[in-house]
Structure 1
């Protein structure tokens, strides 16, 4: 259940930052930072909603990790707006995030989602008052 799109997108940000580390192109750095913050917030919201639906027991700590990451991104935005150079630190942060969070922390919830999603979907069908089997033959 790897999120290949998210991994690819993170790699694109890392590669772009690698290219601008030497040039310091502020417009490109701003573009990466803005896109990264926007994508991260929407992705985390989706992921946390999914984990909530399957009653993932470690959701509070997982959400806390997300909140810290978003805070760090916002801190980088403030530094950038003050004219500070952030590309090297942001590059390091994303590189570590790719390995530590995406490859490890996110893998921790895969079994919980797989094991609980079918049960969750069945409950949703029951709430509708008619299961998929009955709808199929009606």
Structure 2
């Protein structure tokens, strides 16, 4: 059964929500490969999922750091533990274990819980920082030489 994106999972930060939806696409591709019994495709999908998730985590952590999010380090630790856990499944798969359905359950459950709990905690700080950056850029733009020239 495919993982269906639920709007309750939206953080309100478009780039993060798009990345989360992409992770859901990988989870669903894994389920399709598992249902087909295609071990090679399961392996490729797992590799792609891990690579994409690691880059997503790095991006998310950079937003948190830039925003001065208080719990950035513990959040990063949660990411590290998750990657380690998924890599254990990848290794088991490479050794011949059938981990597809077990991994699908882990990924879909973890993602929902992580978004609703851990990610929800940083959203306010990151949004406030983004709004501040946009306001600062507008201010600089409004104070540029061209805008000053036309205000005269």
Using structure 2 for the length normalisation, give the TM-score.
Answer: 0.75
**Would the alpha carbon gap of residues 120 and 22 (structure 1) be closer, same or farther in structure 2, given more than 3 Å must change?**
closer
Question: For the Cα contact (< 8 Å) 2:34–2:42, is it kept in 1?
Answer: no
Distance 1:27 1:58 in 2: 39
Structure 1 stretches of 4+ moved >6 Å: none
Judge conservation of contact 2:23–2:52 (CA < 8 Å) in 1.
no
Write out per-residue CA displacement over residues 16-71 of structure 1, whole angstroms, 9 at most, x where no aligned residue.
33334344310111121011111011111111011100100010111011001111
Superposed CA offset, 1:79-135 (max 9, x none): 111111111221011111221012332121111112233445677x6xxxx933222
Are 1:137 and 2:129 an aligned pair? no
Give the 3 Å change call, closer, same or farther, for CA 115–4 of structure 1 in structure 2. closer
Aligned to 1:53: 66
Computed over aligned residues only, the root mean square deviation of the Cα atoms, in angstroms, reads 2.3
Stretch moving more, 76-85 or 7-16: 7-16
Does the Cα contact within 8 Å between 2:69 and 2:125 map onto a contact in 1? Answer: yes
Aligned residues: 133
Unaligned runs of 5+ in 1: none
Separation (CA, whole Å) in 2 of partners of 1:96 and 1:53? 29
TM, length-normalised to structure 1: 0.82
1:33-112 → structure 2 map (5 Å cutoff): 33-112=46-125
Q: Kindly tell me: are residues 22 and 117 of structure 1, through their superposed partners in 2, closer, same or farther at Cα, counting changes over 3 Å?
A: closer
Q: Does 1:18 align with 2:31?
A: yes
Greater relative contact order (Cα < 8 A, sep 6+): 1
